[in-house]
Structure 1
Amino acid sequence: LEATGHPKWAQRCEDVAFNSLPASMTADLRALHYLTAPNMVLCDRHSKSPGLQNGGPMLLFDPFGHRCCQHNVAHGWPYYAQRLWYATGGNGLAVVFYAPSSVTAKVGDGREVTITEQTRYPFEEQVLLTVKTDGKVRFPLYLRVPGWCDGFKMKVNGRAESIEAPAGSYIMVDRTWADGDRVEVEMPMLVALRTWDKNMNCVSVDRGPLTYSLKIGERMERVGGSEKWGAYEIHPTTAWNYGLVLDEKRPEGSFEVVRGDWPADDQPFTVESAPIAMKAVGRKIPQWQLDHLGLVAEVQAGPVRSDQPQEAITLIPMGCARLRISAFPRIGSGPGAHEWKEPPRVLPTTASHCWENDTVAALSDGLLPRNSNDQSIPRFTWWPRKGTAEWVQYDFAGAETVSGVGVYWFDDTGQGGCRVPRSWRVLYRQAGQWQPVKATGDYTVAKDRFNEVGFETVRTDGLRLEVQLQPDFSGGILEWRLDRAAP
C-alpha cells in the first residue's frame, strides 16, 4: 500500500483487520492462538497436526505459548491506526482507512489543520469528517471508495456533491477549507455472496468489508496460565454443521440485516456484543462432523442434499466469532444436489512412538498415497528414532476376523531420514498375549506400493506390526489396510 497507494491493498488490509485479527485474540486481548481459520469450531490444547502443519496446542488461546506471536500480534492495531491517514501530492491528505480518529498536519501553503473523524465503520455506513483550522486554506482531500461500494455518497457542509466514485478508487475534494467544514460520507453496504469454486462451491456472505460467520455459542474454559493471564480453550455450545438455504433467483435476498446497540465497553468484536447481525435460513448436515483431530471436516461437493428441517440461524461478523463457520455448504435439491458422504472411520491405533507432527490416524484414514514419498497426505513416522525396534497396533472394538494386511511404507530418500524398514512381521492378540501370525507369503519392504502378506485367518481384538528400522534411519507408514473376512 505504501509503495503503490493502490486501494486494493487497503481493502485487503481491512479484510485481515476486521475479519481475522480480532478473533485471533480473546476479547480482553490478553491471550491469542496461532491460527485463525474460516471454519473452526473447537479451540483446545490438543495438537491438530498433520491437519495443521504445526504440531502442539496451536488453537489454544494462550498468552505465553506461541513463540513470536505474542509480541507480533500487538503490532496489528497500532500499525493499522498509524496508517489511517496519508499525505498526498499537492500538500493534501487522504483518508485511506475509515476509523474514529483525528489527524493534525500542515497542508496547502503550510497551514496546520486538524480533521476529526467520527464513525462506527465497518459496522455502520456513515463517516463524518470535521475540519478545524485557524484560517482558510486550500488543499486536496482524498477519500477511498472501497471495492465493494457502489453508490458512494458525499455531502460537504450539508450539500450533496455530484461525484463520480467508481468502486475501488479515490475521489478528490479540492477546495478552500474553513474552520468547522464538514464532510459526510455514506457507503451503502449490500449483502453479497462469494462462491468458492476451488472449495467445493461453498459460499461466504459479505456485507461491506465484513464477512459473516454462523453465530456459535462459546464456552471458555481456563486450562493454564494465571487468573490474570489465563490460557483458554473455547468449546461450542450450539450446533454448527449447517448449510445455507438460499433463494435460487436472488441469493442475496436470503438475509435480513439486524442492527443492535453499540456495546458500552466499545468492544464490538465478541459474540455477545456484535452490533450487527443477519438472519438466515439453514439446514443441518448430520454427516458433517469434526474429524479425528478435532478439526472441522473438509466441505464436500455442493450443492448438498439435506433431509433436515429448515431452521432460522444467525450470522455475525467473522471478527466477532472465535468459533466460526464462514465457508458454508449450499443446500440444494434435485439431480444436481450431492449426498454428503460419511467420512471413513479411523481405527483406534497406538504405537511405540509417533512424531508430534505426524499422526497414528494416518494409518487408516483411507487416503491412498501416490508414492512412498507422498507429502500431500497425513503420515505416521517413528521419527526421530533410528535403527530401533518399534511397533504400531490396531485395537478393535470387538473381535475381528483377519487374513492379511497391506502396508504402504513411507520413504523420503533424497529429502529426509526415513526409509523402508529392514524387516517386519504381524502379530495378533490372543487372551491378552501377542502371538505371531502364520504368514503364507514374504514380508516385503518395497517402495511405492502396498506390501501385502497373507496369513492363516485369525480372530482377534488387536493386530500389531513389529518393525525393525534400518541402521541410522527412521521409518514410517502412509497406510495400513486389512483383509477382513466373515467370522
Structure 2
Amino acid sequence: MLKYILSASAIVLMAFTPLPVKDKPANTFVQPVYQELPLGSIKPKGWLLQQLQIMSKGSTGHLDEVHAKIANDNGWLGGKGDGWEETPYWLDGAVPLAYLLDDAALKTKVLKYIEWTLKSQRPSGYFGPITKPEREQNIQITADNCEAGEDWWPKMVMLKVMQQYYEATNDQRVITFMTRYFQYQMKSLKTCPIGKWTEWATSRGTDNEMIIQWLYMITKDKALLDLAAQIEAQSFTWSTWFGNRDWVMHAAANQTDEHWMSRHAVNIGMALKSPAINYQRAGDSLYLKQLKTGWNDLMLLHGLPMGIFSGDEDLHGNDPTQGVELCAIVESMYSLEKIISITGDIHYMDALERMTFNALPTQTSDDYNNKQYFQIANQVEVSRGVFDFSLPFDRGMNNVFGLRSGYTCCTSNMHQGWTKFTTHLWYATPQGGLAALEYSPNEITTTIKSERITISEETNYPFEDVINFKFAMKKPVTMPLQLRIPAWCKEAIVTLNGKQLRTANGGQIITIEQTWKNKDILTLQLPMEVTTSNWAKNSRAVERGPLVYALKLGERWEKSNEPAEGDYYSVYPTEAWNYGLLQEAINNPKAKLQVTVQPVATPFIWNQQHAPITITAPARKIPDWKVVNGVAHQPITNRTNVYQGETGKEVETISLIPYGCTKVRIVAFPVVK
C-alpha cells in the first residue's frame, strides 16, 4: 500500500466547489415515489431462497477461487491483476448475497475487498487499484495530475458495491469516502473528462450520476447535483436518444462498426435508467416521456418474447434467432428496479417480472457455475458457431455454457440479477407504509411507527396464483399496504383472514389502509389465463401470468474443452422441434391449450425436470423447417398469419413448459392449419 493512502474515517466531510455546467439542474429534486429498503430487510424464502443458496455454493460464492482474472494478484487488493470491471462486477452481486443469506463466510470474503477499497483512498479523494505512475514513479494522484489515475468506469461499479455495503451496515465511512471521491471528481473533470480513457465511461456515466444523487439524498449537498449534471453533459445523451426515435431506428438498420457503443446492448441496459435519473435530479417530466418512448420503441423493434431486447452484442432486431447477452439482462433488471423506485410506474414493474422469470434463469447452469454469453429465443441447439450474432467472436464460443465461454464480463456480472431482484421485492412508501411491487416467496422485517413488523410472503408465484401475506407484530399497526395488480390479470381478489375485502382490475396499484394485527393473513389471488401473443414474422408465443412457455425437448449435454476458454457444454435436442401451433389453438387458447400444475419441488431448480407447469397444445410438424448452421430461421407466412407450406398430416400434442426451465426450445411458433 502506498504510504500516503489514508483511511477514509480520518477525513471529515468537505464542501464542494462546483464547476460551471451548461444546464444546471432545477432547484426541485424529485424524491422517489417508492423508497428502497436497507439491504437485509428482505430475506428470500422458498424457491427464491433455494436459488440464492445455489449461487452461494456455486460461482457467486467462489468466483475469486475459480476465475483467474479475479483470483490472481487482484488489483482491488493492491496487486497488479484485475483492476478493471470484473472484480467490482462480482462484488456487486456477492455483497448483497452475503447479507441476504447472512452468510458469515461470504461476508468475510467480500469485506476484504471493501476494507481495502476504503483504505485505498488517497489524500486527494482518488481511490482504487494502484496505478502504473504510482507504482513506478511514486506519483501522488491529485486533481492537478488526474491523468496519473485510471478510467472512471470501474470505479462506478465499485461505488454501487459500496452503496450496498452501507445500506446493509450503516458504516459511515462510506459517506465520507464518497464525499471525498466526488470532490476529487468535480475538480478533475475539466482535465480528465468522463471519456478521457475509454468510451465505456462515456456510455455508462448514468451509473456515476445515480450514486451521486443517492449521496445527495443523505447529505443534501446541492453541489452534488451540479456534479451529476456535469457528468451527464460529458456522457452519451441517452435520454435524448430514447426520446428521439431516429436513434432506435438507426440501431435497427445499422450493424457496422460506426457508433456501435450506442447500440451495445449492455450499455443500453444500463442507460435505461438515464431518463429517470435525470428526472430525479432536474424535475423535468420530459425525461419520463423520453423513457416511455425509448422503452416502447426498443421493445417494438428489438423485443423478444422472454421480455428482453436482442443484443448480440449490438441491438439486432426482433427475429427470434437473435441473441441476448446475459449482462444486458441483469443490467436491464437493475435499471427497471431504479426506474420503479423513482417513477412508481407499474408498466416497468410488469416488465421486470417478465424479464426476471423468463430471460434470466435459462442462461445459467443448474449449479450456477456456467453461463451462456448469448441466449437465443428459438434455440434449437447450444453449440459453438457464428449463428446470427453481430459479434461472432473468433472461437465461436458465445452460445455454449462455460465459466469463461465468450467474454468473461458476464461471468462476473451475472450475480447481481437474482440478488437485486430479491432486494427490490418491497419498497417503502412516503405515507409510512409498504409496497409489494414484485412477487416471490420472502419475508420482510422493518419498523413502522416505532413498531417492529414482519410480513411473511408465502407463495409459489410465478408458478401459482395465490400470495399470502402473514403479519407478525407485538402491537397493532395502522399503515397503508400497496399491492401491484399486473396488467395480465383481469381481476384480482383480495381477502383478509378469509373474508373478501375487494376485487381489482389488472394494471394498477391498489392501497389497503388497515390496522394490521398479529397473525393477520392477507391473501392476494391473481388468476392466470392462458393467452397467446404476436411476435416477429407472425410467430406466436404462449403465456400464462408472468411466464412465457416454450417447447419441452429432451436434452443431450456434451462436455468439451477449448484451450483458451476451458471446459464448456453443448446441448442438443433429442426429439423433433419443428412444430407449428394449430390456428384453432391461437384463436381459442382457453379451450385448446390445457394446463397441468404440479407442486413446486423442494429443492427447486430452474430446469425441465423441476418445471411445475405443463401446457399441452395441438401442433403439426413443418418438414422444411430445418437447422442451418445452428440456426432455425423462422418460416415465412403471408398476411393470413398462417404458414402456407407443407405440414405433417397428423395433429400431434406437444408439451410446453416455462421458458426459464429450458435450454433448447421453440418459444415463437409459426401458425399452421
Query: Do both share a fold (TM > 0.5)?
Result: yes
Q: 1:260 maps to which residue? A: 598
- How many residues align? The count is 323
Which runs of 4 or more aligned residues in structure 1 lie more than 4 Å from their structure 2 counterparts after TM superposition? none
- Quote the offset at 1:130 in angstroms: 0.5
Q: Deviations over 1:290-338 (max 9, x none)?
A: 12x2111233124114441111100011001111111000003xxxxxx
Match of 1:127 among 467, 482, 489: 467
Q: Which has the higher strand share?
A: 1
Superposed counterparts of 1:2-401, under 5 Å = 2-48=341-387, 50-55=388-393, 56-65=396-405, 66-107=407-448, 109-163=449-503, 165-196=504-535, 199-224=536-561, 230-247=567-584, 249-267=587-605, 269-291=606-628, 293-301=629-637, 302-305=641-644, 306-308=646-648, 309-332=650-673
What CA distance in whole angstroms lies between the structure 2 residues aligned with 1:299 and 1:115?
50
Q: Is the 8 A contact 2:383 2:571 kept in 1?
A: yes
Q: Is the 8 A contact 2:583 2:671 kept in 1?
A: yes
What CA distance in whole angstroms lies between the structure 1 residues aligned with 2:562 and 2:501?
56
- Scaled by the length of structure 1, the TM-score of the pair is 0.64
Q: Is the 8 A contact 1:41 1:296 kept in 2?
A: yes
- Quote the offset at 1:225 in angstroms: 8.0
Q: Is the 8 A contact 1:276 1:317 kept in 2?
A: yes
Q: Is the 8 A contact 1:246 1:254 kept in 2?
A: no
- Quote the offset at 1:200 in angstroms: 2.0
What CA distance in whole angstroms lies between the structure 1 residues aligned with 2:599 and 2:442?
21
SS in structure 2 at match of 1:152: strand
Q: Deviations over 1:126-182 (max 9, x none)?
A: 11101111101100011110110011001111111124x221111111011111111
What CA distance in whole angstroms lies between the structure 1 residues aligned with 2:476 and 2:556?
56
- Quote the offset at 1:253 in angstroms: 2.3
- Quote the offset at 1:233 in angstroms: 0.7
Q: Is the 8 A contact 2:385 2:392 kept in 1?
A: no
What CA distance in whole angstroms lies between the structure 2 residues aligned with 1:118 and 1:252?
28
What is the identity, as a one-letter code, of the residue corresponding to 1:193? T
- Which has more radius of gyration? 1
What is the identity, as a one-letter code, of the residue corresponding to 1:143? L
What CA distance in whole angstroms lies between the structure 2 residues aligned with 1:262 and 1:85?
23
Q: Deviations over 1:417-459 (max 9, x none)?
A: xxxxxxxxxxxxxxxxxxxxxxxxxxxxxxxxxxxxxxxxxxx
RMSD between superposed Cα atoms in Å: 1.7
Cα gap change, 1:130/1:200 in structure 2, threshold over 3 Å: closer, same or farther?
A: same
Moved more, 171-180 or 301-310: 301-310
Moved more, 182-191 or 305-314: 305-314
Q: Is the 8 A contact 2:578 2:626 kept in 1?
A: yes
What CA distance in whole angstroms lies between the structure 1 residues aligned with 2:542 and 2:514?
39
SS in structure 1 at match of 2:434: strand
What CA distance in whole angstroms lies between the structure 1 residues aligned with 2:595 and 2:516?
37
What CA distance in whole angstroms lies between the structure 1 residues aligned with 2:599 and 2:454?
30
What is the identity, as a one-letter code, of the residue corresponding to 2:631? L
Q: Is the 8 A contact 2:371 2:411 kept in 1?
A: yes
What is the identity, as a one-letter code, of the residue corresponding to 1:298? Q
Cα gap change, 1:98/1:105 in structure 2, threshold over 3 Å: closer, same or farther?
A: same
What is the identity, as a one-letter code, of the residue corresponding to 1:59? N
Q: Percent identity?
A: 32
What is the identity, as a one-letter code, of the residue corresponding to 1:330? V
What is the identity, as a one-letter code, of the residue corresponding to 2:381? L
Q: Is the 8 A contact 2:604 2:610 kept in 1?
A: no
What CA distance in whole angstroms lies between the structure 2 residues aligned with 1:299 and 1:211?
21
- Quote the offset at 1:51 in angstroms: 4.3
- Quote the offset at 1:76 in angstroms: 0.4
What is the identity, as a one-letter code, of the residue corresponding to 2:479? F
